[in-house]
Structure 1
Amino acid sequence: MRHLRLSTTMLLAATCSLMTAVVSTEKAITCGSDGNVQRLSCDTGVISVQTALYGRADAVTCSEGRPPAELANTQCSLAGTVDVLKLRCDGKRECELNINVFTSNPCNGIYKYLETTYTCLPALHLDACEGSLAQLQCDLGQVIFVYGADYGRRDQTTCIYQRPPNQVQNIYCSSPTSKVADSCNGKSSCTIAVSNSVFGDPCVGTYKYLDLAYTCDYPGTNLGPAYIRQRRFSIQPNSLQVCLIKPAYLSHCAPQTTSSKTMLCFRLSITLLLAATCSLMTAGKLSEVSLENVVTCGSDGSVQRLSCDTGVISVQTALYGRANSVTCSEGRPPVQLANTLCSQAGTVDVLKKRCDGKRECEFNINILYTSDPCKRIYKYLESTYTCLPANHIVACEGSSVQLQCEQGKVIVLYGADYGRSDQTTCIYQRPLDQIQQTSCLSPTRKVFDSCNGKNSCNITASNSVFGDPCVGTYKYLAVAYTCSCGSKYHDFGCLLQQPK
């Protein structure tokens, strides 16, 4: 007999967390003018499109500056829109499409928009370059279910090492394929050759890759996106019967009853319960956020790069100058290392302004050359930062996005920027001259002012809201935020917070 001793509070929290772990729904709205681009993305998992409307369902959405006659028909929708979105986006981590793909006009004279709702399903993601083998593998007893697969090319960053530029320029040739699902679904492992002989050649002369997403589950379950969305937890061997008295303030975890206390009985896998409990424990004060440290020697305009695999950057400290005689000392004469009490004031503020709230941040060290804290001393930039858990949203110009928290929590903004900093975001079928300027992404407080402290908030990415940091460039809004109980409660305490 194994005994697991947990506090009632912790066990309630873990159980409730498992019950309420429903996949949330995201929404993107793109106004239908000038070939605007809609972007769907998942920080983790893959896209599963739920609904899509191209037309008009109300007189408010995308109505700014439009005459009433262009908003009059609110029962206008193009048939098959959801099928187009599902074909292009299901099973991908990121998906962009130009609104011009809808060539049919469901209502002449009406200003239309594309409104899409989608969820992010947990998945394993795999990219395999042309000429290689892609191996899908599940744990013992589980089988493969393929969400989606594409063969071709849709960016200039994947599978490009030492390839000629002419072989990676065509980024509009990626095509969905069912061959991976046909070969691998229901198997515990599967190997696919990534080649034109298997998938055909959607773009002759372009070096291609296979992009696929799949999940693993136990045979006999109703595998598929609907099953994944509906599942709360799996019943496995060695399970634990949990029977608890549910206080009234946890009534959101199960249907309401007339009594103030309800007996809750669940059969949970011990492994799963331990994992949930540990997850909740490590999300609180018991775990410390790790610190990353980056040092960049201050010569030849060197570039410092901060990045987070998950979450967003929060700069903790930054020193531009010299604090010891060892760092960045190679090949330097002693006289250039002598002053070890040299630091430029305000360095941390510069970095926080540029990097806080972003997943990646690059900048040339020359931005700190505006003053010299110690002449003739060879200086360096040393930064420490953490990666904070966050929701990250990108909205292409002309689109609206919704920042949303679960009931009882409010939005806390980490940062927001409007403009453009790369040639890979919000580019689908946009003219080259509209995406070449990559140094015009500017921080903005407007999202903070509009959304901080609210449970949900809608934001439109447009010049009329944020101004135009680079005229003629097609821009996007990048937002990072988290959901919190507010200053009165820790996040873990949200679950146990009793409404007043």
Structure 2
Amino acid sequence: MVHFSPAHLLAGTCVLLSAGVLTQKVTTCYCGTVHRLSCDTGVISVQTALWGHEDERCFHGQPPYPVNQDCSPMGTVENLKTRCDGKKVCELTPADIRYPGSCTGYLHTTYTCIPANYLVTCEHSLAYLQCDKGQVIHVYSADYGRRDRTTCIYNRPYSQIQKTDCSSPSSKVAESCNGKNSCIIKVSNSVFGDPCKGTYKYLEASYMCQDALTPSNPPSESPSEPPKSITMHNSRLTGRLLLAVTLFLMETVVSTKTVTTCDNSYNVHRLSCDFGVIGVQSALYGRADSETCSEGRPANQISDTSCSQQGTTDVIRTRCDGKSVCELNVKVVRTSDPCAGTYKYLQTNYTCLPAIQVTACEFSVAHLYCDVGQVILVYGADYGRRDQTTCIYKRPESQITNVDCSNPTKKVAESCNGKNSCIINANNAFFGDPCQGTYKYLEVAYVCEYPTV
């Protein structure tokens, strides 16, 4: 089998992205909730942003509702572009871009994920931007400050990382680096100013490399627009073909992965995919050989090698399929003892499969859709909260501390499988409330396929 390096895989993915960029949609129903845009690969490029009148269908998952363009305040798209273009994740509230006197309603944004170099540099460090020989830097966006509690935090006191609403766009990187083959920027308040005193900050920058300027390759008209030399190709790959080719690339790199965790109530069983989402193939709780997890164990505890608990694979699939990362404890599957006296372990075999991933913050709408002639197949969905970094913008600490309340749900599959497009409301009315008082979100992984006859 031919094997590609991760660099080859990334390059191939960028080619696929440039050949056919899929438009993504986000709709948020209330002004005070989180409007979240994100890219698994590449960075955000906002296309449209429109306000719509309040509509009951925003809360009941009806077919796509009309958007009143006359309702959009001047500068809405430009405001969103300034805040989100060039980032991998962008969270805000609709109220942040709502002009005084504008109509109430929901905010509907469309965006694409375009390939770019993405760089994060901690305060008091140097940011290095560089391109191949014959190419020059085109900065797509840069922000200095802090917008989460997970980046650049090692050995920093909590008081220096608790403020997460102080990251501001900056033109300094573009002014210093555009048109150069390489560039070094000092990440400090002396260069960018201090958007939040007492907070330890970092620089986020995204940039592209384009051929050096020639008469046939003039500079881009705006720093926020992709350079002409990397403008997306006119030929478009369908969503299914894009996934199929990505799957081929992934299969040449990654085969089946195996994770084994010895039976202990404190041990963490962790499955993860750098690319794509988890697809559990098989799982065993019990013992299939005398070597695994045998250290320090007497012979009578490892001699039974045909010991397994029924239903283990189904349990792991329910919890992990369709996620990029899945962590659980052995006690999740230890519902009975298939072989008393035998020391057991949990072993899972899984692969990483390409899928379209959607995250919708509570009181927002998840949009699932496929190319013409294709239908949705939901791979996995969870509603709740499992981290303190997703859908947190301007939410109080008390609403994001419970990270052990995300539950798998079949409701998305039941509502969307077999349809060309589908709208799901991320709220307690539809999914139930797995953790009262916690601000939640919906995570969905799905693929597009041609219907079977």
**Shorter-normalised TM range:** 0.7 to 0.9
Structure 1 residue corresponding to 2:19, chosen from 14, 21, 38? 21
In structure 2, how many angstroms separate the alpha carbons of the residues matched to 1:474 and 1:407? 35
Q: Compared with structure 1, are the counterparts of its residues 174 and 327 closer, same or farther at alpha carbon in structure 2 (3 Å cutoff)?
A: same
Residue 309 of structure 1 is matched in structure 2 by 274
Q: Partner amino acid for 2:23?
A: T
Which digits, 9 at most, give the CA deviation of each residue in 1:76-95, with x for residues without a partner?
23222222211211110001
* TM-score, with structure 2 as normaliser: 0.85
Which digits, 9 at most, give the CA deviation of each residue in 1:236-260, with x for residues without a partner?
xxxxxxxxxxxxxxxx979xxxxxx
Deviates more, 1:35-44 or 1:454-463: 454-463
Q: How does 1:388-467 map to 2 (within 5 A)?
A: 388-467=353-432
In structure 1, how many angstroms separate the alpha carbons of the residues matched to 2:385 and 2:231? 38
Structure 2 residue corresponding to 1:62, chosen from 58, 61, 81? 58
Q: SS where residue 87 of structure 1 aligns?
A: helix
Which digits, 9 at most, give the CA deviation of each residue in 1:149-196, with x for residues without a partner?
111111111112222222221111111111111111111111222222
Is contact 1:322–1:342 with CA below 8 Å preserved after alignment? Answer: yes
- In the TM superposition, residue 284 of structure 1 has moved relative to its aligned partner by 8.9
Residue 4 of structure 2 is matched in structure 1 by none
Q: SS where residue 138 of structure 2 aligns?
A: strand
Is contact 2:247–2:353 with CA below 8 Å preserved after alignment? Answer: no
Residue 244 of structure 1 is matched in structure 2 by none
- In the TM superposition, residue 429 of structure 1 has moved relative to its aligned partner by 0.4
Residue 120 of structure 1 is matched in structure 2 by 113
Structure 1 residue corresponding to 2:310, chosen from 314, 331, 345? 345
Q: SS where residue 58 of structure 2 aligns?
A: coil
In structure 1, how many angstroms separate the alpha carbons of the residues matched to 2:229 and 2:84? 17
Structure 1 residue corresponding to 2:325, chosen from 329, 346, 360? 360
In structure 2, how many angstroms separate the alpha carbons of the residues matched to 1:19 and 1:344? 43
Residue 9 of structure 2 is matched in structure 1 by none
Q: Partner amino acid for 1:425?
A: T
Residue 225 of structure 1 is matched in structure 2 by 226
Residue 203 of structure 1 is matched in structure 2 by 196
Residue 32 of structure 1 is matched in structure 2 by 30
In structure 1, how many angstroms separate the alpha carbons of the residues matched to 2:370 and 2:148? 32
Is contact 1:78–1:106 with CA below 8 Å preserved after alignment? Answer: no
Is contact 2:116–2:208 with CA below 8 Å preserved after alignment? Answer: yes
Q: How does 1:9-408 map to 2 (within 5 A)?
A: 21-33=19-31, 35-56=32-53, 62=58, 75-102=70-97, 104-107=99-102, 111-220=104-213, 221=217, 222-223=219-220, 224-225=225-226, 227=228, 230-232=231-233, 280=245, 283=248, 290-408=255-373
Q: Compared with structure 1, are the counterparts of its residues 81 and 285 closer, same or farther at alpha carbon in structure 2 (3 Å cutoff)?
A: closer
- In the TM superposition, residue 100 of structure 1 has moved relative to its aligned partner by 3.1
In structure 2, how many angstroms separate the alpha carbons of the residues matched to 1:365 and 1:285? 29
Is contact 2:247–2:354 with CA below 8 Å preserved after alignment? Answer: no
Deviates more, 1:478-487 or 1:384-393: 478-487
In structure 2, how many angstroms separate the alpha carbons of the residues matched to 1:385 and 1:153? 36
Deviates more, 1:328-337 or 1:349-358: 328-337
Q: Partner amino acid for 1:48?
A: S
Is contact 1:132–1:193 with CA below 8 Å preserved after alignment? Answer: yes
Is contact 1:296–1:381 with CA below 8 Å preserved after alignment? Answer: yes
Is contact 2:262–2:346 with CA below 8 Å preserved after alignment? Answer: yes
- In the TM superposition, residue 463 of structure 1 has moved relative to its aligned partner by 2.0
In structure 2, how many angstroms separate the alpha carbons of the residues matched to 1:436 and 1:93? 23
Is contact 1:143–1:189 with CA below 8 Å preserved after alignment? Answer: yes
1:469 aligns with 2:434: yes
In structure 2, how many angstroms separate the alpha carbons of the residues matched to 1:281 and 1:201? 42
In structure 2, how many angstroms separate the alpha carbons of the residues matched to 1:83 and 1:358? 33
* Residue identity (%): 56
Which ranges in structure 1 are unaligned for 5 or more consecutive residues? 1-13, 66-70, 234-251, 255-275, 489-500
Q: Compared with structure 1, are the counterparts of its residues 438 and 29 closer, same or farther at alpha carbon in structure 2 (3 Å cutoff)?
A: same
Which ranges in structure 2 are unaligned for 5 or more consecutive residues? 1-11
Q: CA RMSD in A?
A: 3.1
Which digits, 9 at most, give the CA deviation of each residue in 1:118-173, with x for residues without a partner?
11111111111122222112122221111111111111111122222222211111
* TM-score, with structure 1 as normaliser: 0.78
- In the TM superposition, residue 413 of structure 1 has moved relative to its aligned partner by 1.0
Q: Partner amino acid for 1:87?
A: T
Q: Compared with structure 1, are the counterparts of its residues 166 and 333 closer, same or farther at alpha carbon in structure 2 (3 Å cutoff)?
A: farther
Which digits, 9 at most, give the CA deviation of each residue in 1:383-412, with x for residues without a partner?
111000011110011111321222332222
Q: Compared with structure 1, are the counterparts of its residues 140 and 226 closer, same or farther at alpha carbon in structure 2 (3 Å cutoff)?
A: closer
- In the TM superposition, residue 478 of structure 1 has moved relative to its aligned partner by 0.6
Residue 261 of structure 1 is matched in structure 2 by none
Count of residue pairs the alignment pairs up: 424
Is contact 2:384–2:440 with CA below 8 Å preserved after alignment? Answer: yes
In structure 1, how many angstroms separate the alpha carbons of the residues matched to 2:246 and 2:93? 44
In structure 2, how many angstroms separate the alpha carbons of the residues matched to 1:182 and 1:387? 41
In structure 2, how many angstroms separate the alpha carbons of the residues matched to 1:351 and 1:154? 33
Q: Partner amino acid for 1:30?
A: T
Name which one, 1 or 2, has greater alpha-carbon Rg.
Answer: 1
Is contact 2:60–2:425 with CA below 8 Å preserved after alignment? Answer: no
Is contact 2:20–2:236 with CA below 8 Å preserved after alignment? Answer: no
